Structure 1
Amino acid sequence: MKLGILSDIHGNRVALTAVLADMPPVDGLVCAGDVVGYNPWHADCVDAMRGHTDALPADASWPTEEVPTVMGNHDRAVAAETPFAFNGMAQAGVEHATEQLSDEQIKWLAALPDERRVCDERVKLVHGHPDDPDHYTYPEEFGPDLLGDEDVLVMGHTHHQHHEVYGDGIVMNPGSVGQPRDRDHRAAYAVLDLADLTVEEHRVAYDTSAVIDAVEDADLPRQIGFRLTQGR
C-alpha cells in the first residue's frame, strides 16, 4: 500500500493543486495538519481535505474520499479552541480564514483530532510531536525514541522535509505543501510505501507569482507571498 503524505497546506490552493497533479498513483492520502492559515484559499483547501472533488484538479488520479487529517495549530486557532502565539503574518492568516470559512468548514476543523492512526494503526499522524502538538520537532530531534508501537510516525509543523529509517520504524516529515521553510521554495510532499517501509520525498514547482498576487488582492501582508519564493 502506498500513501501520499501531505502537511502544512496553509491555504495555498496553487501549491496543493501542483502537488496532487504531480503525485504518483497512491492508495490513499493523509495530512499532518495546518490545512488553513497564511495564504488566501482556506475554504478550497479545507474542502479538498474533506473530499469535495470540485476543489481538486479535474484530471486527478488519487482517492477523492475525505483525507484523514490531524489538527494543526492554525487549524485550532481558526476553530477557536485554544490560542497560539502568532506573528503578524500568521495572525492575519488566521483572521482571514475565520472570515472566509463557513460554519460547516470551521466545524470540520474543530473536530480534527491531535492524533490519529491509519492503515491498521501502522501509521501515526501528529502535527508537532507525539507528546506536544505545538512542539517544533526539527530533523535534528528525530530518533527512534519518538516511535511507539507504530511502524511510521508522521509529523508536520516545522515545514522541513526529512525522514529517518530506524530498526523500529520510520520517523518522517513530508515538508510543507503551502509554505516550505527549508530553503527550497518548491511545494513538498512524500509517498510512503508500507509494503517495504520506504519513503520517497518529492518537490514540485508551482506558480508562486499567482499566490503573491492573490495575497495582495486579499489585503494580507505582502511578505506572506514573497517568502514563498525563498522557501523560508
Structure 2
Amino acid sequence: MQVAICTDIHGNRHAFEAVIAAAQAAGAEAMWCLGDLVGYGAEPDACVALAREHCSIVLAGNHDLAVTGALSLEDFSKGAALAAQWTQRTISEETMAWLSELEPADESHGYGLFHASPRDPVWEYVLSPHTAEGCFRATDFPVSFVGHSHVALSFSWLEGEPVSGTARRDGTELDLSVGRWLINPGGTGQPRDGDPRAAWLLLDTEDARASYRRAEYDIAGAQAAIRATELPASLADRLQYGQ
C-alpha cells in the first residue's frame, strides 16, 4: 500500500491542500497525519476538515493539545501561546470537540506513529543520534515515524553499528528493509529546514521503501491569511524562508 505521511500542518490550508493533491497524484491510497493540525496558521477549521476527509490516522500534536486545554500554555513560547489563544477563540465547537478526541501516538498499524517521539509522544525533539538511540530502545517497532521538529530527517540503526542520521531532501529514498528506522517527513505547514515547500513522505508498505517529497504551494496566500488576523506577522514572514 502507498501511504502519504505528513505532520505539522499548523493551520496552513494552502500547504495541506498541495500535499493532498501531490499524494493523490503519486497514487497514495491512504494518508496519515502525525499531529499539529493547528497552531501557527490562519485556517485551523479548514485544516481539520481536510484531515477528517482525507486522513485515516490523525495524531494529536502539542499545539493541538494546547488549543484543547490538555496542555498549559505556560509550556509554550510567547508566539506559540498567542497563536494557541487565537485559535481557541476562532475555531468552531465541532473542531474543538474533534481535536479533543485525538491521541499523540498510534501503535496499531504495524508502525510506530508518534507526534514527537516513542519516549515522549508530545514533547521530545529527535534531532541527534544520541536522542534517536534512546527512542529506538523505547520501542520494538522496526520503523517509526515522528513529527514535531519540522525538519525532514531520518535515523537508522544497523546491527553492530552506532545510530546515524541526516537531514533529507526532496527525492531521497530509504530502504526500510535493512536495520531500524526513525523517520520525520518534515513540516507540511511550517518547514524549518530552509526549503519553504510543503514536506511529506510517501511510504510503500509492500516494498518497505520511503520517499521524501516536497510540494509547491501558494505561500503568498498562506501569508496573506495570517496577516489578515491578529496572529503575529512573524508567523507569515517565516514561511517564505522555510524557517
In the alignment, is residue 173 of structure 1 matched against residue 184 of structure 2? yes
Tell me the amino acid that sits aligned with residue 123 of structure 2: D
In the alignment, is residue 131 of structure 1 matched against residue 119 of structure 2? yes
In the alignment, is residue 78 of structure 1 matched against residue 67 of structure 2? yes
Unaligned 5+ segments in structure 2 are 158-177
Q: CA deviation at 1:147?
A: 6.4
Partner residue, 1:39: 41
- Whether the aligned pair in 2 keeps the contact of 1:117 and 1:125 (CA below 8 Å) is yes
Q: Higher mean Cα deviation, 122-131 or 141-150?
A: 141-150
Q: Higher mean Cα deviation, 93-102 or 164-173?
A: 164-173
1:121-174 deviation line (CA, Å, top 9, x unaligned): x11211111111201111544348256232321100000001244444321001
Q: What is the identity percentage for the equivalent residue pairs of Structure 1 and Structure 2?
A: 31
Partner residue, 1:26: 28
- Whether the aligned pair in 2 keeps the contact of 1:37 and 1:97 (CA below 8 Å) is yes
**Match for residue 160 of structure 1 among 151, 174, 181:** 151
Q: Distance in 1 between matches of 2:40 and 2:123?
A: 17
Tell me the amino acid that sits aligned with residue 116 of structure 2: G
The Cα RMSD (Å) is 1.7
Partner residue, 1:14: 14
- Whether the aligned pair in 1 keeps the contact of 2:118 and 2:139 (CA below 8 Å) is no
Counting matched residue pairs gives 217
User: Equivalent residue of 2:141, what SS?
Assistant: coil
Q: Distance in 2 between matches of 1:230 and 1:182?
A: 9
> Normalised by the size of structure 2, how large is the TM-score?
0.83
**Match for residue 149 of structure 1 among 135, 140, 143:** 140
Q: Distance in 1 between matches of 2:214 and 2:232?
A: 26
Q: 1:214 to 1:129 in 2, by over 3 A?
A: same
- Whether the aligned pair in 2 keeps the contact of 1:187 and 1:203 (CA below 8 Å) is yes
Tell me the amino acid that sits aligned with residue 77 of structure 1: A
Q: 1:14 to 1:186 in 2, by over 3 A?
A: same
- Whether the aligned pair in 2 keeps the contact of 1:14 and 1:206 (CA below 8 Å) is yes
In the alignment, is residue 202 of structure 1 matched against residue 213 of structure 2? yes
Tell me the amino acid that sits aligned with residue 234 of structure 2: Q
**Match for residue 218 of structure 1 among 229, 233, 237:** 229
- Whether the aligned pair in 1 keeps the contact of 2:119 and 2:138 (CA below 8 Å) is no
Q: Distance in 2 between matches of 1:202 and 1:74?
A: 24
- Whether the aligned pair in 1 keeps the contact of 2:12 and 2:222 (CA below 8 Å) is yes
In the alignment, is residue 68 of structure 1 matched against residue 57 of structure 2? yes
Q: 1:125 to 1:200 in 2, by over 3 A?
A: same
Q: Distance in 1 between matches of 2:223 and 2:132?
A: 33
- Whether the aligned pair in 2 keeps the contact of 1:147 and 1:171 (CA below 8 Å) is no
Q: Distance in 1 between matches of 2:201 and 2:79?
A: 27
1:164-217 deviation line (CA, Å, top 9, x unaligned): 444443210011110001111111000111112111000122121111111111
Tell me the amino acid that sits aligned with residue 3 of structure 2: L
Partner residue, 1:48: 50
Unaligned 5+ segments in structure 1 are 52-63
